[in-house]
Structure 1
Amino acid sequence: MADNSSPFTDRWFYALVAVGVFLNATGLFPPVMELDGALYACIAKQMAQTGDFINLYAVGTDWLDKPHFPFWVIALSYRIFGINTFSYKFPALLFFLGSVVYTYQFTRLTYSKVTAQVASLVLLTAFHGVLSNSDVRAEPYLMPLIIGPVYHFYRVFLGDRDAISLRNGISKNWRHLLLGSFLTGCALMTKGVFVLIPIGAGLVLHWVLTGHWRELLKIRWYLAIALSFAFTIPEIYCLYQQFDLHPEKVIFGQKGVSGIRFFFWDSQFGRFFNTGPIKGEGDKFFFVHTLLWAFIPWSLPLYMSLGQRLVDLAKRRIGPTFQPEYISLGSGMATFVLFSLSGFQLPHYLNIVFPFYAVLTAQFLVGLQISNLRKWTIAQTVIGILLVVVMGALLWLVQPAGLNTALAWALTLTILLFVLFRQNDLLSLMGRMVGVMFVVAGSLNLFLYPTFLRYQAGMATADYVNTQPTLANRPTTLYEPGTGVGGGSFWSYEFYAKGPTMYARTDSALRVQVQTGPKSVFTTAEYADSLATRGFDVRQLAIFPYYHVSQLTYDFLNPSTRSKTLLPYVLAEVNIKSASERRTGVKTGPLER
Structure 2
Amino acid sequence: MTDVSSPIDTRWFYALVIAGICLNATGLFTPILEPDGALYACIAKTMAQTGDFVNLYAVGRDWLDKPHFPFWVTAVSYLIFGVNTFAYKFPALLFFLGGVIYTYHFVRLSYSWLTAQVASLILLTAFHGVLSNSDVRAEPYLTLLVIGPVYHFYRVFLGARFYHIVLGAFLTGCALMTKGLFVLVPIGAGLVLHWMLTNNWRELLKLRWYVAVVLSFVFTMPEIYCLYKQFDLHPEKVVFDNTNVSGIRFFFWDSQFGRFFNTGPIKGAGDKFFFVHTLLWAFLPWSLPLYIGVGNVVRSIVKRIEVPEYISLGSGLATFLMFSLSGFQLPHYLNIVFPFYAVIAAQFLVRLKPTALRRWTIAQTVIGVLLVVLIVGVLVVVQPARQGIALSLSMLIAVATFVFFRNTTLLSLVGRMVGAMLLLACMLNLFLYPTFMNYEAGLAAARYVNEQPQRAKRITALYGPSTFGESSWSYEFYVDGPTQYVRDDSVLQQLAGQRSVQVFTTNIYADSLQSRGFDVSPVAVFPYFHISQLTGDFLNYKTRTSTLKPYVLVDVRK
> Could you tell me the percent identity over the aligned residues?
70
Matched, 1:347 2:331: yes
Q: Which amino acid aligns with 1:478?
A: L
Q: Give the secondary structure class of the aligned counterpart of 2:516.
A: coil
Q: Deviations over 1:65-88 (max 9, x none)?
A: 000000000000000000000000
Cα distance, 1:2 vs structure 2: 11
Cα distance, 1:315 vs structure 2: 2.5
**Contact 1:103 / 1:355 at 8 angstroms: preserved in 2?**
yes
Cα distance in 1, alignment partners of residues 271 and 170 from structure 2 = 34
Number of the residue aligned with 1:455: 439
Cα distance, 1:511 vs structure 2: 2.0
Q: Which amino acid aligns with 2:176?
A: L
**Contact 2:3 / 2:112 at 8 angstroms: preserved in 1?**
no
**Contact 1:4 / 1:425 at 8 angstroms: preserved in 2?**
no
Runs of 4+ in 1 over 2 A off after TM superposition: 1-7
Number of the residue aligned with 2:276: 288
Matched, 1:510 2:510: no
Cα distance in 1, alignment partners of residues 82 and 200 from structure 2 = 51
| Contiguous gaps of at least 5 residues in structure 2 | none
Number of the residue aligned with 1:272: 260
Number of the residue aligned with 2:422: 438
Q: Which amino acid aligns with 1:156?
A: V
Number of the residue aligned with 1:9: 9
**Contact 1:4 / 1:370 at 8 angstroms: preserved in 2?**
no
Number of the residue aligned with 1:325: 309
**Contact 1:5 / 1:426 at 8 angstroms: preserved in 2?**
no
Number of the residue aligned with 2:34: 34
Q: Give the secondary structure class of the aligned counterpart of 1:477.
A: strand
- Bigger shift: residues 510-519 or 325-334: 510-519
TM-score under structure 1 length normalisation: 0.93
**Contact 1:4 / 1:426 at 8 angstroms: preserved in 2?**
no
**Contact 2:7 / 2:113 at 8 angstroms: preserved in 1?**
no
Q: What is the aligned length?
A: 558
Number of the residue aligned with 2:110: 110
Number of the residue aligned with 1:154: 154
Cα distance in 1, alignment partners of residues 43 and 3 from structure 2 = 53
Aligned partner of 1:393 among 367, 372, 377: 377
Q: Which amino acid aligns with 1:27?
A: G
Cα distance in 1, alignment partners of residues 425 and 510 from structure 2 = 39
Matched, 1:558 2:540: yes
RMSD: 1.2
Aligned partner of 2:403 among 411, 419, 438: 419
Matched, 1:308 2:296: yes
Cα distance in 2, alignment partners of residues 239 and 2 from structure 1 = 48
Aligned partner of 1:252 among 230, 240, 248: 240
TM-score under structure 2 length normalisation: 0.99
Q: Give the secondary structure class of the aligned counterpart of 2:193.
A: helix
Aligned partner of 1:359 among 323, 333, 343: 343
Number of the residue aligned with 1:523: 505
- Bigger shift: residues 182-191 or 510-519: 510-519
Cα distance, 1:11 vs structure 2: 1.1
Cα distance in 2, alignment partners of residues 560 and 417 from structure 1 = 33
Number of the residue aligned with 1:583: none
Rate the CA distance shift 1:216–1:229 in 2: closer, same or farther, 3 A. same
1:474-513 equivalences in 2 (<5 Å): 474-482=458-466, 486-513=468-495
Aligned partner of 1:263 among 244, 251, 254: 251
Matched, 1:219 2:207: yes
Cα distance in 1, alignment partners of residues 248 and 439 from structure 2 = 39
Cα distance in 2, alignment partners of residues 531 and 439 from structure 1 = 48
Cα distance in 1, alignment partners of residues 373 and 52 from structure 2 = 49
Cα distance in 1, alignment partners of residues 527 and 267 from structure 2 = 30
Aligned partner of 1:382 among 338, 363, 366: 366
Cα distance in 1, alignment partners of residues 494 and 106 from structure 2 = 59
Cα distance in 2, alignment partners of residues 98 and 27 from structure 1 = 18
Q: Which amino acid aligns with 2:495?
A: Q
| Contiguous gaps of at least 5 residues in structure 1 | 160-171, 577-593
Cα distance in 2, alignment partners of residues 72 and 52 from structure 1 = 10
Q: Which amino acid aligns with 1:78?
A: Y
Number of the residue aligned with 1:588: none
Cα distance in 2, alignment partners of residues 477 and 60 from structure 1 = 11
Cα distance in 1, alignment partners of residues 491 and 55 from structure 2 = 23
Q: Which amino acid aligns with 2:411?
A: L
1:31-110 equivalences in 2 (<5 Å): 31-110=31-110
Aligned partner of 2:189 among 183, 198, 201: 201
Q: Deviations over 1:365-400 (max 9, x none)?
A: 001111111110110000000000001000011010
Cα distance in 1, alignment partners of residues 192 and 392 from structure 2 = 51
- Bigger shift: residues 175-184 or 501-510: 501-510
